Amino acid sequence: MVIRLVQMTFQPEEVETFLAIFEASKSKIRAFEGCEYLELIQDSKQPHVLMTHSHWTGPEALEAYRQSELFRSTWAKTKVLFAEKPWARSFQRLFKVD
């Protein structure tokens, strides 16, 4: 499993625009082969900073998504709204505590 975190800092006036983009694409992303989990979280002190948190069956599934038209078209609309360069990292789970 790959856990992907992408932190995005938006121009404050563009947060609502991004939320509309995410709303329109979230079901398609979640339905993409290999995506097991998807959430959008917001910084509690800086509401223009948001992060996607997703789980993928493996690096191949994540890369297939990143090469897809769905990703390219969504990212093209999103990246013009940024105030800063995004931060993205992939992780693997070592253990889970229930």
Helix (H) or strand (E) holding 39: strand 35-42
Residues 72 and 68: their CA atoms lie apart, in Å, by 6
Average pLDDT, the chain: 97
Residue 66 lies in a domain: yes
The two tokens of residue 54 are 């997703």
Among 5, 89, 73, 17, smallest CA distance to 48 is for 17
Residue 98 has pLDDT above 90, yes or no: no
Number of domains in the chain: 1
Model pLDDT, residue 85? 97
Residue 98 lies in a domain: no
Mean pLDDT within 64-82:
97
Residue 81 lies in a domain: yes
Phi and psi dihedrals of 42, rounded to 5? -125, 140
- CATH code, 19: 3.30.70.100
Domain containing 7: what range? 2-91
Helix (H) or strand (E) holding 89: strand 87-91
The rounded percent of the chain whose pLDDT value lies above 90 is 97
Model pLDDT, residue 96? 87
